[in-house]
Structure 1
Amino acid sequence: MNEDPGRDRSSPLDEMPDESDVVAALERAVVAGDLDAATRVVEAAWFPLLRGNGDRVRELLSPVPFTQLRSHPLLAVLLGVTYYGERHRRAKALQYFAVASVAARPRNARISDAERALILAGESVGLRLFGQYSRAVGPARAALRVLDSMGGERSAVIGQLPRVYSQLGMSLYFGGCPVEALDAFSMGLAETGPHDESGFGNLAMLSGMHALDGDILVAREYVDLARGEPWTDQQRAMYTGTFYRIAEAVIALEQFDTTAAQNHLDAMIHDRGTIEHWVAIVRVEAMTALLSDAAATGLSRLESFAISRGSDGRSPSRRASLASVRALLHLALGNIDAASEILRRDAPASPQTNVDRARVSLVRDHTGAALRDLRAIAGTSQSSRTSAEASAIEAAVLLRVSSTGASRSAVDRLGALLRDTGQRSAIALLPRADLERVRSALSKRGHDALFEGVELRSVFVDTDTGSTLTPRELEVLKALERTGSTSQIASALFVSVNTVKSQVKSIYRKLGVNNREDAIAVAIARHLFIDTED
């Protein structure tokens, strides 16, 4: 551990009976001009100082000159976090984060490992709060390396260590590193004592992430822990418990108990305008609506929630995160073209996107295209949920075209996957006729137990696939929005005027309209005109 040999590591908190005195301890140290002692207060009581004490902390520390903060960077990070809480002063927060970031570099031997870990954690949280998710990953990883190097000493030096791991895990989660995030949350839970409430955030994240990934049986184990002591009802309802409630809701949805799922969603107490977990909340709300035969309501709420988030809700990364569920809602409403367009425009290159495209092809009766999309992800790393949905679609396709060993093998793989993960909803995401065929095949292959006590039903309406627009017709429709001149459209698309007229006639027939104005109105309602700009 990198220590200043002349530095006394005894903590001012040694004399304090409880956390309520941490602000007083910080004040004594700052008034005495002992910033080393102030730093030790922060090391031991980082979270209590931030919990409702931001104004007082800012009042005490903001007069400290930047020159002194450079040699006490943990105080700078604490100040930065308090300034972030005031929207109109967040630029000030960046200044303090910058001071701490430079001071915490490895060559600074005066900084202890505990300080370095907390400074890096603060930097990571700050970047995450400012929406710089990819940049937050580096400091989070560095902080975890420092904590690992400290060994067993870390829990004795850093107060409420499980909360530090929880924040680092969330930076990794939002930064697109879910496996590393799960490791961080697991470490945080391991550092939690039997009567320590500070580890609940780790437990909640573990339960919610596993549930969203489709590992329902694993999620249930964590949920069972979260339901008991020392965790409180307040923790289960507030921000820290968001992913716990998500886990409970997802588990209920896998049993098609939408009432229980909605009750858990309603039990959340948070500010929908500021909570950083809003995408996960939206996804589960949408699935609850979908399985409640209320896809239109679910889509309306999703769009309203995204709009309320301003530029964050419109950003490419958020659109990518919501592309799968947004397309699914449109598909459930029979808006096949809109679902396809959303996946084309918003969805990232991923196994889940391939599965979503395969589902659209299945609904369109394009079984060959569905199988090609599924074959493209064979052998790739996938979540259990993605694998279950892919297996369900593959079984549905093969049962349509064949009753050979290939279809039986696909059904057996699906049955084993559903049994081993605790999932059921993947079957509901099939067209009605396919659902019945797949369920019947599963029963014949000895998987009846999967559906005991479950009211299984498809989320899709019966769709006339002859009413979906071809890619070329979508191009003509978009051109119609700009101009009613067939000659201009023909010139722009390098086709003849007669070809355009024929395609416009087909578009009107498929949309059930007789003129350009009505065609544009229907297209807008079906989200066929999608702005590709940020």
Structure 2
Amino acid sequence: MALRQWAADTNKDLLWLHVAQHIATAEQFWLQLHDALSSHLGLPNMPPDDPDFSVSPISHLTALLKDATPFTLILEDFHWVQGTGVAHGLLRLLKSAPELSNVITARSALAIEQAQISGYLDLRAVGPTQLQFSPEEALEFHAGTVLEPISNQLNERLLGKPTLHKAARRASEEPRQPTVDFADDVIHKVSAVMHREIVASLDQWMDEEVGAFMAATLNLMHFDLDLVRVVAPDGDVAAYILLMEEIGFLESRDSSGTTLYEYPTVFKDILSTLLSTGISACRSATLAAAAAHEFDRESYLPAFVYALDNNDFRLGSSVLVRSGLDLLFDPTQEFSAALKKIPNTQIVKYPLLALTLGVIYIADKRTRFKGLEYFALALTSSKLQGKSLPPEEKLAVNLAQAVSLRLTGQFKLAAASARSGLKDLAELPLTDRDQLGIFESIALGHWGLSLLFVGDFSAATRALHLAVSTGERFGSRQATFFATALLAYRYAVDGDLQTAAKYAEVAQATQPDMPAVELYQQTPLNMALALIELGKLNPDAAATHLDKVISETSTSEFWGQLRVIESRIELLRGHAGMAAGRLELALLNKKELPALNPVDANEVAVVRAELLMAGGNATGAQSALSKLPAKSVARTVAQARVRLGMGRPGEVVELLGGPLRFTSLRQALEAQILLTVARLHLQPAALVRADIERISSSISVLENQWPLVMLSEPDLHLLLMSAQELGVPWPHADVLPRGLLPHALSMITLTPRERSILGTLVETGDRAEIARLHFVSVNTVKSQLRSLYKKLGVASREEALLIAHQEHLLKP
């Protein structure tokens, strides 16, 4: 046989132990093993002198093996061993006794169970990890039975334990509950069997102290020795843990060098029922002590869960603050599950908890509106708070207010709240700010974003720089990364791509390599990188960065800028029509998307005009610009671009010649370019030399060629030839795009029928009435209106009449 052949070939010191068929209990097995080990080690073959050997044999056997010459134990016919905890005990023995190099059993866990059913005795050597079912073994064990389709599900819930799988086989033969899921029904019946077995064996292992230990620890998610000594200070807790492990009620795992223990679900449910009175009696005290202990040692997830389980929502809010909101990125979902259990009657008192729950819901477009409800609840909650709050809570309230206002579309109020928060923070004593830790950096980052969305770049920059320095001081790579990425985004939107590239490089170097950095946090950096590549007129590289986050357009508050970048990439590729279609489709679903911030709203209107200009439609472009505020600089600059494309340089000079308050460096550069080209049409180049030099210098310093893209080829040629004639160096002139715009934009020319329909629209918008007046069918009117609206670049009667008035289309 393979086992015998291996034994003959190996040079290992071997101890063979044939498990006798009469072995019926775990105690008898451990006694037989004790005798075999004593004989192998040359010790007197005497019964163990430890009175607790039957309860805790592993520690005794470990001591017996201490300093022995290493050897290998071979167990034959292990399948005769009955009773719980033997397989787990063997694993513990391997871990605690290095002298015992391996355990080789006569058959795997699967083979052991098959032997008990079929009597098939084909021996094979296996390692200790095979004392539990793998998914494949579970499937093989249940093959041909009604449990085969749910074998993997059962294996997960039965912890891979063969004895429980065997119980499941027996349970599946009992009458099934028709209204209960089959797997749940089987697990319930297995639990009932285990419940009876545990009750029958209680007297063998549980006394009052063990019962108190279990009542306390069953309230916990998991625990280590330090935590147990806090919640159950009486008794020898190390011995109780060892006992629970040997019985099989506790499982252990290593976590950063610390051993954590937890009750498997199947046993936890049974034990919780048996000890319900004791658990209830100590529950509040246990959870309070556990929450405080985990909070003090910065184990924030269990601290948060214990605090909320104990209805201590104020402590839960404090835990969230001290964690720097890192709990939002908990991959186990335990954080969100605990948060979702808070009743609204309580969450309305704690704005940060309401805000966090809103963030969780809004990340999924299926629950976005539920997220908005919680943001509204956070706003209500923030207004209910008193003014004499501790610094930590005051900062949390302000952050909840600013973010909630922003995510509900109240951008100016959000920015005002951010400014108020920055003022309050500056007035805090340094000792109080030290207590805020990472949370301060997170708050500063979100205040900066709120200010960016209203175009207050100066205040946003101050907040974001503070966020970076605070994140670095408290060692939060995640907070530092997000704030640095926002700085890169801030400069990219402003048009200073050289500075944006520097911050993007720093952000990439500090980006944590962890799942917690979710797509939302990566979006500003990838948008900045895409804008940098657009400034180099490299659409393919820009698309590479945008592809990583374009899926965010359904849920992200950045969706407007994402669509703007996408449109400009396609425009640069020469696909203006495709870009226009995508953008219009996105705007049709605008009500289902997050609110569009003022900066991005302006950018969307401008890019719509750019796409229409690329199609030669000056009328449609002007219609798109009518969505902008009448006196906004963005509208003035964009209108000047349309006028220049239509060959009206005098109107451009009139629009841009006076003092204007530009909102970004890119906007100022675009205006300078348009005004300079218009003047070149009207006067000699020598008279505008200073302006050409200023443009060349700005493009070089900002490393941004994009402002030249929306010039027609003749206008671009005029500017470059003038610079060459004047000896003004021009950066990267060889990469400038050609032919994106028609040589000259044209106004809309209407057919007599379209002009007649348009004239009727002045009097009525009723299609039936229009059809009667023109002696055509209603369907014909619908078709003619669609054609007219498309030509005008509008979507409604009101917009059509506005364009008709602006372009004098109603005059005979």
TM-score normalised by the shorter chain: which range applies?
A: 0.7 to 0.9
- Corresponding position: 1:263 with 2:528: no
2:694 to 384, 398, 413: 413
Is 1:117 aligned to residue 395 of structure 2? yes
Deviates more, 1:287-296 or 1:95-104: 95-104
Following superposition, the deviation at residue 286 of structure 1 comes to 1.4
3-state SS of paired residue (1:448) = coil
Give the one of 353, 368, 371 matched to 2:635.
Answer: 353
Show the counterpart of 1:182: 461
Selected match of 2:608 from 301, 308, 326: 326
Correspondence for 2:326 among 30, 44, 48: 48
Letter in structure 2 aligned against 1:288: I
Contact 1:358 1:373 in 2 (8 A): yes
Instruction: Name the amino acid aligned to 1:333.
Output: G
The match for 2:378 is 97
What CA deviation, in whole Å up to 9, does each residue of 1:274-297 have, x standing for no partner?
Answer: 111011111111111111111111
The structural deviation recorded for 1:474 is: 11
Where 1:192 maps in the other structure, the secondary structure is helix
| Deviation readout 1:219-238 (Å, 9 max, x if unpaired) | 11111212213444868882
Aligned residue among 293, 307, 315 for 1:29: 307
1:207 aligns with 2:484: no
Q: In 2, Cα distance between the equivalents of 1:259 and 1:82?
A: 33
Structure 1 pair 404/244, CA: closer, same or farther in 2 (3 Å)?
A: same
Q: More deviation in 521-530 or 142-151?
A: 521-530
**Partner Cα separation in structure 1 for residue 486 and residue 530 of structure 2:** 14
**Counterpart AA for 1:480:** I
Q: 1:267 to 1:82 in 2, by over 3 A?
A: closer
2:647 to 365, 376, 384: 365
RMSD: 3.5
C-alpha offsets along residues 322-349 of structure 1, whole Å, 9 cap, x if unaligned? 1111101101110111011221344553
Does residue 1:168 correspond to 2:485, yes or no?
no
1:529 alignment partner in structure 2: 794
Partners of 1:81 and 1:122 within 8 A in 2:
no
Letter in 2 for 1:322: V
CA contact (8 A) 1:431 1:459 kept: yes
Q: Distance in 1 between matches of 2:440 and 2:597?
A: 34
Contact conserved, 1:49 with 1:57, CA < 8 A, in 2?
Answer: no
Matched residue type, 2:461: L
- What letter matches 1:166 in structure 2? G
The question of whether the paired residues in 1 share the 8 Å contact of 2:339 and 2:357 is answered with yes
**Whole-angstrom CA distance in 2 between matches of 1:98 and 1:475:** 56
TM-score (norm 2): 0.54
With normalisation by structure 1, the TM-score equals: 0.80
1: distance between equivalents of 2:340 and 2:644? 62
Cα distance in structure 2, aligned partners of 1:517 and 1:104 = 56
Q: Which amino acid aligns with 1:174?
A: F
The alignment status of 1:339 with 2:621, answered yes or no, reads yes
Q: 1:475 to 1:177 in 2, by over 3 A?
A: farther
Residues 247-256 or 195-204, more deviating? 195-204
- Residues 314 and 432 of structure 1, relative CA distance in 2, 3 Å threshold: farther
Hey, what's the Cα distance between the residues in 2 that align with 1:314 and 1:195? 30
Correspondence for 2:427: 149
Displacement of 1:306 in angstroms is 1.7
Q: Which moved more, 1:158-167 or 1:198-207?
A: 158-167
- Please report how far the alpha carbon of residue 357 of structure 1 lies from its aligned counterpart in structure 2 after TM superposition: 0.8
- Quick one: distance in 1 between partners of 2:323 and 2:421? 18
1:350 deviates by 2.0
Q: How does 1:443-462 map to 2 (within 5 A)?
A: 443-451=724-732, 454-462=735-743
* Contact persistence 1:394–1:410 (CA under 8 A): no
Q: 1:102 to 1:522 in 2, by over 3 A?
A: closer
**Separation in 1, partners of 2:551, 2:785:** 39
Per the TM alignment, residue 90 of structure 1 is displaced from its structure 2 partner at its CA by: 4.8
Change (3 A) 1:99 1:337: closer
Query: Is residue 343 of structure 2 the alignment partner of residue 62 of structure 1?
Result: yes
1:398 corresponds to: 679
Partner of 1:509: none
- Cα distance, 1:360 vs. partner? 0.9
Q: Tell me the residue number matched to 2:410.
A: 132
CA distance in 1, matches of 2:516, 2:624: 37
Match of 1:375 among 646, 650, 657: 657
Measure how far apart 1:352 and its partner are. 2.2
Greater relative contact order: 1 or 2 (C-alpha under 8 angstroms, separation 6 or more)? 1
Tell me the amino acid that sits aligned with residue 468 of structure 2: L
Quote how far apart the aligned CAs of 1:399 are. 1.6
Deviation at 1:124, TM superposition (A): 1.5
Structure 1 residue 78 displacement after superposition: 4.6
Relative to 1, partners in 2 of residues 1:433 and 1:136: Cα closer, same or farther, differing over 3 Å? same
CA distance in 1, matches of 2:752, 2:508: 53
Q: 8 Å contact 2:358–2:372 — kept in the other structure?
A: no
The Cα shift of 1:407 comes to 2.4
Alignment-derived partner of residue 268 in structure 2: none
The Cα shift of 1:172 comes to: 2.3
Deviation at 1:269, TM superposition (A): 6.0
Q: How many residues align?
A: 483
**Amino acid corresponding to residue 529 of structure 1 in structure 2:** V
Q: Is the 8 A contact 1:283 1:325 kept in 2?
A: yes
Question: Counterpart of 2:509 in 1: which secondary structure?
Answer: coil
Shift of 1:149: 2.2
Distance, in Å, in 1 between the alignment partners of 2:728 and 2:307 is: 67
More moved, 85-94 vs 183-192:
85-94
Q: Which segments of 5 or more consecutive residues in structure 1 lack a partner in the other structure?
A: 1-9, 490-514
Select which of 734, 757, 760 maps to 1:480. 757
Q: What does the per-residue CA deviation read over 1:290-332, in whole Å, with 9 as the maximum and x for residues that have no partner? A: 1111111111111122223336589896754411111011011
Q: Distance in 2 between matches of 1:276 and 1:216?
A: 22
**Residues 1:96 and 1:316: Cα distance change in structure 2 (over 3 Å):** closer
- C-alpha distance after superposition, 1:15-62 (max 9, x if no partner): 436xxx423212333444555533431221251333354532334532
Amino acid at match of 1:393: L
Deviation (angstroms), 1:195 = 6.1
Q: For 2:783 and 2:681, locate their aligned partners in 1 and report how far apart those are by CA, in whole Å.
A: 37
Alignment check: 8 A CA contact 2:406 2:450 kept: yes
Equivalent-residue separation in structure 1 for 2:424 and 2:551 (angstroms): 33
Q: CA deviation at 1:479?
A: 6.6
| Alpha-carbon displacement from aligned partner over 1:156-181 (angstroms, at most 9, x marks no partner) | 43444322222222222334533322
Equivalent residue number for residue 296 of structure 1: 577
8 Å contact from structure 2 (residues 564, 603) kept in 1: no
SS of the counterpart of 1:450? Answer: coil
User: Paired residue for 1:494?
Assistant: none
Q: Distance in 1 between matches of 2:509 and 2:597?
A: 39
The one-letter code of the counterpart of 1:334 is G
Q: Which whole-Å CA distance do the structure 2 matches of 1:478 and 1:273 have between them?
A: 40
Aligned 8 A contact 1:12 1:40 in 2: no
Aligned equivalent of 1:463, options 744, 751, 762: 744
User: Structure 1 residues 313, 321: CA separation in 2 closer, same or farther (over 3 Å shift)?
Assistant: farther
- Structure 2 residue aligned with 1:225: 506
Alpha-carbon contact 1:113-1:146 (below 8 Å) kept? no
- Cα distance in 2 for residues equivalent to 1:237 and 1:457: 39
CA distance in 2: counterparts of 1:95 and 1:59, whole angstroms:
16
Match of 1:498 in 2: none
Write the distance in 2 (CA, Å) between the matches of 1:13 and 1:197: 22
Mapped partners of 2:516, 2:754: distance in 1: 51
Q: Deviations over 1:340-391 (max 9, x none)?
A: 1221344553222211111111111111111111113x25244111111111
CA shift digits 1:473-500 (9 cap, x unpaired): 7999577247399xx79xxxxxxxxxxx
Higher radius of gyration, 1 or 2:
2
Gaps of 5+ in 2: 1-290, 765-779, 800-812
SS of residue matched to 1:100: helix
